[in-house]
Amino acid sequence: MPRHLSLRTSQLTGRRRAGYLLLPLVLAGSALAAVAALPRLGLNAYQASLGYMLSSSLELSAGWQGWNYGRASGVFFNAAPRLKLDAEFVHMSFHTSP
């Protein structure tokens, strides 16, 4: 008998530019409903950053990401049903045109 997994995902992304400043924001969520023998897994993710346009082809941004995992049964490696991860980042983008 085949096993079917069901994945629901939603994402909201926005970006605002004010002069040379860039203000992007990302919110995302996912839920994986598995077969009866496996746990239901969920993920909520957040990202906020602040960027600056150094020139028309070069952007520099820094920000934060948060990932929150959850499961309906069992535990993660930290012996809890929830796992929270955070990260800071610096990102440089170089844009070219053909």
Got the DSSP string for 54-77? EETTEEEEEEEEEEEEEESSS--T
Domain range for 36: 6-94
Is there a domain that residue 63 lies in?
Answer: yes
In a domain, 78, yes or no: yes
Compute the distance between CA of residue 76 and CA of residue 79 in angstroms, rounded to an integer.
6
The residue ranges of DSSP E strands in 1-98, in sequence order, are 6-18, 21-33, 41-55, 58-71, 82-94
Number of domains in the chain: 1
Domain annotation covers residue 35: yes
pLDDT of 2 reads: 44
Flag residues of the chain having pLDDT under 70: 1-7, 33-37, 98
Q: Is residue 1 part of a domain?
A: no
Task: Quote the pTM value.
Answer: 0.63
pLDDT confidence of residue 80? 84
Tell me whether residue 57 is in a domain: yes
Please tell me the distance from the alpha carbon of residue 14 to that of residue 62, in angstroms, as a whole number: 16
pLDDT recorded at residue 97? 76
